[in-house]
């Protein structure tokens, strides 16, 4: 009787960029003969890919490590919180190994030490996306690591380092394989998609017999050839974003931009070490919408940043009303261990932060509801995510998975996940749409 394969349990926490890291580690484990199992008690060792961006994420990661130790005993830790090994060791001194994000070799070495592979390991890690943690019809496409910004509220550069872009041909080859494998939607992620390629001086690389620059525009031009939905996340509003809007207007990539504005007061943006030319941003948004009327804009904001006055918070609300963003997320400022913003004076009381957050979301809820209401009676192309007894749950071109709204199709029982169909919108609320299959 042959010896069973060694078995690894796996926990993936954090953002889509961490999810891509998890997919790469899982792919390598599979290649080397490890079985991935869904429970701690059936695993020979457990890998926990952590998040460490905000205090709540740190707590969740430490809880996950503790649970894995309690139920299994052999735990390997990787990911962003791994950059703060002392925090992990203090809470859980018995973990086998700690490594930071993208340190795939250290993870595999730790797994080998705890559980020798059944097959000889490759000298190099295999490409990502042999194993996918997303549904078959969409995938995250990570184009770079790290970030050159030094926002005072953020510690990502200390965890993931400075910007390191992947050559454009490497990204396009991966995207092409994903589409050939059945992926209908590519979600482009990074810490700063607009800065893609600046570290490589926008070097040109050949793909499909044509030179493409390693920059956002060159990447989008290549992705537009694949026939899949392409959705851009984490895009800073730099001037060269203008060059991508025609691709959206022509229907070659999705008319969707995820832009982390964070605030609208020039003084607060300066304290955050963020771009502060709010008038130029508004002008750019208006120009984009004129060139591409179907453009969806999503963003995130921080309220209650240290020193934020009532007048500056009102500036933020005025920006919301003028910008008329389609999708908005926000959170009350929370100190992050190691962030420069912790040293700023004028901490906003917790009660006031929460009150401002509530007011912010009330303003945006009215804006979102009004913008969605305009879609009633229109025909929208949607992608189906799941089908249940009540019909189908889909997303329009304006909706990224998990963070935006959905389109409920009451007569969609015969549809299948991954199908792209046309629906007529018959009803809406402040978040979601309800439609029926178009004739």
- Give the annotated binding-site residues for [4Fe-4S] cluster: 15, 51, 80, 147, 151, 154
**DSSP 8-state symbol, 260:** -
Q: To which residue do tokens 């309690």 refer?
A: 70
Q: How many CB atoms lie within 10 A of CB 208?
A: 11
In whole angstroms, give the CA distance from residue 245 to residue 232. Answer: 11
Residues of the binding site: 15, 51, 80, 147, 151, 154
What residues have CB less than 8 Å from 248, skipping those under 6 apart?
254, 255, 256, 292, 294, 295
What residues have CB less than 8 Å from 204, skipping those under 6 apart?
168, 211, 212, 213, 214, 218
In whole angstroms, give the CA distance from residue 397 to residue 185. Answer: 10
Helix residue ranges per DSSP H, 229-349: 245-249, 266-272, 278-291, 310-323
CB 23 within 8 A of CB 16: no
**How distant, in Å, are the alpha carbons of 145, 153, 270, 359 from that of 320?**
31, 21, 19, 12
User: What residues does 104 pair with on adjacent strands?
Assistant: none
In whole angstroms, give the CA distance from residue 46 to residue 68. Answer: 7
Q: To which residue do tokens 């482009």 refer?
A: 188
């Amino acid at each position: 009787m042959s010896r069973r394969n060694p078995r690894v349990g796996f926990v993936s926490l954090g953002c889509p960029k961490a999810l891509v890291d998890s997919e790469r580690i899982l792919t390598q484990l599979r290649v080397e003969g490890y079985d991935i199992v869904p429970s701690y008690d059936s695993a020979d060792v457990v890998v926990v890919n952590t998040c460490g961006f905000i205090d709540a994420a740190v707590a969740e990661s430490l809880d996950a490590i503790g649970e894995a130790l309690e139920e299994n005993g052999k735990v390997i830790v990787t990911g962003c919180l791994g950059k703060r090994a002392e925090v992990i060791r203090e809470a859980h001194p018995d973990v086998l190994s700690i490594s930071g994000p993208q340190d795939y070799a250290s993870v595999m070495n730790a797994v080998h030490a705890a559980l020798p592979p059944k097959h000889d390991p490759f000298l190099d890690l295999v490409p990502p996306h042999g194993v996918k943690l997303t549904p078959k019809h969409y995938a995250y496409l990570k184009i770079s690591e790290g970030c050159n910004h030094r926002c005072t509220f953020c510690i990502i550069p200390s965890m993931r380092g400075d910007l390191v872009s992947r050559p454009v041909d490497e990204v396009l080859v991966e995207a092409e394989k994903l589409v050939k494998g059945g992926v209908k939607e590519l979600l482009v992620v990074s810490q700063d998609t607009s800065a893609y390629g600046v570290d490589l001086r926008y070097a040109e690389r050949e793909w499909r017999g044509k030179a493409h620059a390693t920059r956002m525009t060159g990447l989008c031009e290549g992705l537009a050839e694949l026939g899949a939905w392409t959705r851009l996340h984490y895009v800073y509003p730099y001037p060269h974003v203008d060059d991508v809007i025609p691709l959206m207007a022509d229907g070659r990539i999705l008319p969707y931009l995820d832009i982390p504005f964070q605030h609208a007061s020039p003084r607060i943006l300066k304290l955050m070490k963020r771009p502060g030319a709010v008038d130029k941003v508004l002008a750019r948004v208006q120009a984009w919408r004129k060139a591409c009327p179907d453009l969806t804009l999503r963003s995130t904001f921080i309220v209650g940043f240290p020193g934020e006055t009532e007048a500056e918070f009102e500036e933020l609300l005025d920006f919301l009303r003028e910008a008329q963003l389609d999708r908005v997320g926000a959170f009350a400022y929370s100190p992050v261990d190691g962030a420069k913003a912790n040293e700023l004076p004028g901490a906003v009381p917790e009660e006031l932060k929460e009150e401002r957050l509530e007011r912010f979301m009330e303003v945006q809820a009215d804006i979102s509801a009004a913008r969605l209401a305009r879609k009633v009676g229109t025909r929208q192309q949607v992608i189906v995510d799941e089908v249940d007894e009540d019909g189908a749950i889909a997303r329009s071109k304006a909706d990224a998975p998990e963070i935006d709204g959905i389109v409920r199709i009451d007569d969609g029982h015969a549809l299948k996940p991954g199908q792209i169909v046309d629906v007529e919108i018959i009803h809406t609320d402040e978040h979601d749409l309800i439609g029926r299959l178009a004739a």
